[in-house]
Amino acid sequence: MKLYAVCGNEALKERRCQNWFAKFRSGDFSLKNAQRFGRPVEVDETHIKAIIDSDRHSTTREIAEKLNVSHTCIEKKLKQLGYVKKLDLWVPHSLKEIHSTQRISICDSLLKRNEIDPFLKRLITGDQKWIVYNNVNGKRSWLMQDEPAQTTPKAEIHQERIMPSVWWDYKGILYFEFLPRNQTINSNVYVQQLVKLSDTVQEKRPKLANSKGIVFQHYNAKLHTSLVIRQKLLELRLGCVVTSTI
């Protein structure tokens, strides 16, 4: 501060003074910058992108080793390119190639069908899902470096849960219900649900119910493709069924 008061804006920065002091104390009184060998390493962005595209879980050190540069160089370059590290999302299972191919085939056939016969406004779909009452999520906490991590108890293996069944069309939810406690979904239960759904469609969407045909979509689980269910769908005039692995 005293140097700045005397010399004004021409005064050296405090950090530069500290560097020079350390340099003079070591016996080096030269005021010239030390000779630098080579030039800053330049990394081809396309090489970094290619490595990341081939393996999204690559670390900066792995990328640096492949490109023969420092990992700090890679960190800076990734930041410049707009890359950030994000936690992967959990999914029920990994799709096999045959399932991915089926998805593409089904989506393509539905799009082509809609071009010939627009059906999306006649489409009704639905599903069931178990929902636990106490859904424990992992969290991140702000802590000092010497503080231990916060703890979160794991969810119990056999915890209380409930199963809602929901059906909807492009206008919104048509019908839903919750499975009674200690009851499992089976053909008889699903038949009763389809009857209630059909009655609700008659009430809420009379024009749709009396139109040239409802397109009913549900995934191809064994329950949904059983003979009992297929016969009930025909009886309720929900015979135009699209089963899907999606």
User: What would the pLDDT profile of 216-227 be if each residue is shown by its tens digit?
Assistant: 888 777 888 888
211 assigned to some structural domain:
yes
Q: Give the per-residue pLDDT at 15.
A: 76
pLDDT-derived band at 197, boundaries 50, 70, 90: very high
26 assigned to some structural domain:
no
46 assigned to some structural domain:
no
User: Which residues have CB under 8 Å from 241's CB, separation 6+?
Assistant: 216, 217, 218, 230, 233
d(CA 204, CA 189): 22
Statement: residue 1 has pLDDT above 70: no
Q: The CATH number of the domain where 206 resides is what?
A: 3.30.420.10
* Helical H segments across 82-180, by residue range: 97-116
112 assigned to some structural domain:
yes
Residue 189 belongs to what domain range? 97-132+159-240
**144-151 contacts, C-beta under 8 A, 24 or more apart:** none
54 assigned to some structural domain:
no
Statement: residue 25 has pLDDT above 80: no
pLDDT-derived band at 199, boundaries 50, 70, 90: very high
169-178 as b/e: b if 16+ CB within 10 A: beeeebbebe
Q: Give the per-residue pLDDT at 174.
A: 95
115 assigned to some structural domain:
yes
If you average pLDDT over every residue of the chain, what do you get?
80
Tens-place pLDDT, residues 113-122:
889 988 888 8
Statement: residue 90 has pLDDT above 80: no
DSSP string, 196-215: HHHHHHHHH-HHHHTSS--E
138 assigned to some structural domain:
no
Statement: residue 202 has pLDDT above 60: yes
147 assigned to some structural domain:
no
User: Which residues have CB under 8 Å from 207's CB, separation 6+?
Assistant: none
Statement: residue 175 has pLDDT above 90: yes
Token readout for 23 is 């340099």
pLDDT-derived band at 154, boundaries 50, 70, 90: low
Statement: residue 78 has pLDDT above 70: yes
d(CA 159, CA 161): 6
Domain count, the chain: 1
Q: If you average pLDDT over residues 28-55, what whole number do you get?
A: 74
